[in-house]
Amino acid sequence: MAYKGNGINPKKFEKGQIKILLMVLPLVIITGLPIVFIVFHAFKPMEELFAFPPKFITTNPTLDNFRKLFKASRTAGIPLSKYVFNSLLITGAVVFSSLVFTTSAAYALSKLKFKGRFALMNINQLALMFVPVAVMIPRYLVVNVLHMTNTYWAQILPLIPLPVALFLVKQFVDQVPDSLIEAAYMDGAKELQIYTKVILPLIKPAIATAAILVFQQVWTNMEASNYYVNDDGLKTLAFYMNTLTSTTTNNTVAGQGVAAAASLIMFVPNLVLFCILQKNVMNTMAHSGIK
Amino acid sequence: MKKSTKISRRERSNKAGYLFLLPYALLFTIFILTPVCLAVVLSFTNFNVIQFPKPVGFLNYINLVTSDEVFMQYVLPNTVKYAIIVGVGGYCLSFLLAWALANLPGKLRTVLALILYSPSMTAGVAMTVLWKIMFTGDQTGYINSWLMDLGVINEPIIWLVNANYLLPIVIIIGLWSSMGVGFLAILAGILNTDESLYEAAAIDGVKNRFQEMIYVTIPSMKPQMLFAAVMQIVGAFQNGQVASMLAGNPTPGYAAQLIVNHIEDYGFIRYEMGYAAAVSVALLLIVNVFSKIANKLFGEKD
């Protein structure tokens, strides 16, 4: 019997897939356990946090840990909603501008022939290899020189260029066949139209992946709030959750529940975005009818 | 080659190219390139964060190679070990899992991919608090409690202080969270491979899924393979947060001290920013060598 080929992206479940599933499942379970643990831990009442032997599963779920978290923010003077607003504003602004700038730069670097584009790509790659901790203080100096400390700008502009995202998107633009672009040229399309009508629709998986990536980077970013902003009213939820878990917990058992609750709150938006965008991440260009 | 079209397009492409690139390039230059260059300049100075940096030439680099015993004895071997296991292991795991998922139908694939990717979504200190709880050193710790129930150990192990266990724990956590954006890119890449290629390959005598993977899937998704490889290399060399969050910096007996911890130690604990910058530049060179290798393997040849 000749091999029929192509088990990739099957439409329905078949017998042959059971083998694969059995190989993957143990790893999936191991990977998922710590996440399940956070969820359980966040809803544990005090006596279960102290329980001995320790219990993995929560038997009497409670919202106590979340209540404590909100109470702590009320005593701090700045309402939680302010942090949430700051985070949403900053994340929204960064994700949107980053995607526009990154895709257009990727198009230019990949498909437009101009002097120095290989050098630029190399510089971008080198930058992403430079360890972030070493750049923290120099970047603070730059933000300072530009008089941006204590503004929203300081928390938005430095986060927009993300070398990793450009690298990712460019790798996908590389795969768009040149013949398509040539054809669009023949039809009289200008670069801008090619970018919006040809490139963008074809690299949806890359855009979705980059969106997840940028969102995550910004949503969990504490560096900007930590170093560039003194005014507590401008800081983000990630920063606040972090101070809360590192000051209130200090390893006490009671604080563990609060830490778990905080980490769950930070995790959920990532999860929601992933669920919204996953269709695009896993979308195939084959379906777009181009190939 | 399509030389003629290239030439006729050159004039307008030049201008348009720069315009499309401008916004990103501008912000990139200000907020990334300039700080990186400043850091490189700092590596040739003695800078204690308070006084103005004093130029010292190559002294920091000479010290790194000749007199930093901790670096040579602990940091470098630890980093190599970590990078090999988490870097290479994590990369193979990412690819195999992505390939396996691509062989499963849509809904199931989505759920499994979500679970595998979820560790990458739980960044930050809060997560390390949870690891601390798991690895608590007395019998109230989850791992200790389980292992004692199973009869594997008789008395609790002080996981996070014992030099024998610290690096393996950090490596396990590294592997746990290595299904990152590279994994997603690979998955998208596999799903994107042209179906007609598989049909052609089947006619040409490809006999099973393994051959299909080697001869069809991988060659047709080199850009994603390269991206994931570079991400994995960078991640493997730049991780370090976990170790210092779990066990402090420096880690007990330098047992899990990675290059990044070494940089943090000098930069933010001893305030020898010049030396920390020199170590960062050395790290950049190491990472660059490996990504050059990845480029050789998966890069476009033109």
pLDDT of residue A283: 61
Least confident of A50-54, A89-93, A274-278: A50-54
Contact predicate A66/A80, CB 8 Å: no
**Which of A205, A249, A270 minimises the CB distance to B192?**
A205
- 10 Å CB burial of residue A99 (0-12, 13-18, 19+) is buried
* Euclidean distance between CA atoms A107 and A18, whole angstroms: 41
A20 with B104: Cβ contact below 8 A: yes
- Compute chain B's Rg from CA coordinates: 24
Cβ-Cβ contacts under 8 Å between A and B: the total is 339
Answer CATH for B68-298 from 3.40.50.300, 1.10.1660.10, 1.10.3720.10, 3.40.50.2000: 1.10.3720.10
**Which of B38, B191, B223 minimises the CB distance to A138?**
B38
Q: Which of A121, A137, A175, A221 to mutate to test the interface with B (most CBs of B within 10 A)?
A: A137
Contact predicate A99/A210, CB 8 Å: yes
Q: What is the CATH number of the domain that holds A172?
A: 1.10.3720.10
* Euclidean distance between CA atoms B61 and B168, whole angstroms: 30
Contact predicate B224/B189, CB 8 Å: yes
**Which of A6, A32, A38 minimises the CB distance to B198?**
A6
What is the longest distance spanned by two Cα atoms in chain A? 74
The segment with the largest mean pLDDT, out of A33-37, B139-143, B203-207, is A33-37
Say how many domains are in chain A: 1
Residue range(s) defining the domain that contains residue A245:
69-284
Confidence of residue A49 (pLDDT cuts 50, 70, 90): confident
A245 interaction partners in chain B (CB closer than 8 Å): 125-126, 129
Least confident of A1-15, B36-50, B85-99, B134-148: A1-15
Q: Which of A18, A29, A282 to mutate to test the interface with B (most CBs of B within 10 A)?
A: A282
**Which of A20, A109, A195 minimises the CB distance to B103?**
A20
Q: What is the pLDDT of residues B109-159, one digit of tens each?
A: 888 998 999 888 876 555 677 788 888 877 778 888 888 888 888 888 888
Average pLDDT over residues B240-257: 83
Residue A53 is classified by DSSP as: S
B36 with A130: Cβ contact below 8 A: yes
ipTM, 2 dp: 0.86
The structure's pTM equals 0.86
Run of H or E including A121:
helix A117-129
What is the longest distance spanned by two Cα atoms in chain B? 78
Average pLDDT over residues A65-87: 81
Q: What is the pLDDT of residues A88-124, one digit of tens each?
A: 999 999 999 999 999 999 999 988 888 888 888 889 9
Contact predicate A191/A142, CB 8 Å: no
pLDDT at B194 over 60: yes
Average pLDDT over residues B268-296: 91
Q: What is the pLDDT of residues A215-249, one digit of tens each?
A: 988 998 888 888 888 888 888 888 888 777 666 54
Q: Which residue has the tokens 């779990």?
A: B246
CA distance A77 to chain B (A): 23
Helix (H, G, I), strand (E, B) or coil at A130: coil
The segment with the largest mean pLDDT, out of A2-6, A30-34, A163-167, is A163-167
As a whole-number percent, the residues of chain B with pLDDT over 90 amount to 35
pLDDT of residue B2: 42
Residue A283 is classified by DSSP as: -
pLDDT of residue A250: 52
* Euclidean distance between CA atoms B19 and B142, whole angstroms: 56
Contact predicate B189/B223, CB 8 Å: yes
As a whole-number percent, the residues of chain A with pLDDT over 70 amount to 89
B11 interaction partners in chain A (CB closer than 8 Å): none
pLDDT of residue A96: 96
pLDDT of residue A254: 62
Q: Where are the domains of chain B?
A: 68-298
pLDDT of residue A162: 92
Q: Which of B8, B15, B18, B32 to mutate to test the interface with A (most CBs of A within 10 A)?
A: B32
HEC per residue, chain B = CCHHHHHHHHHHHHHHHHHHHHHHHHHHHHHHHHHHHHHHHHCCEECCCCCCCEECCCHHHHHHHHCCHHHHHHHHHHHHHHHHHHHHHHHHHHHHHHHHHHCCCHHHHHHHHHHHHHHHHCCCHHHHHHHHHHCCCCCCCHHHHHHHHCCCCCCCCCCCCCHHHHHHHHHHHHHHCCCCHHHHHHHHHHHHCCHHHHHHHHHCCCCCHHHHHHHHHHHHCHHHHHHHHHHHHHHHHHCCHHHHHHHCCCCHHHCCCCHHHHHHHHHHHCCCHHHHHHHHHHHHHHHHHHHHHHHHHHCCCC
- Closest Cα in chain A to B131: A34
Average pLDDT over residues B187-192: 84
Q: What is the pLDDT of residues B73-99, one digit of tens each?
A: 999 999 999 999 999 999 999 999 999
pLDDT at B10 over 50: no
Least confident of A5-9, B176-180, B192-196: A5-9
pLDDT of residue A134: 83
What's the whole-number average pLDDT of chain A? 83
As a whole-number percent, the residues of chain B with pLDDT over 70 amount to 93
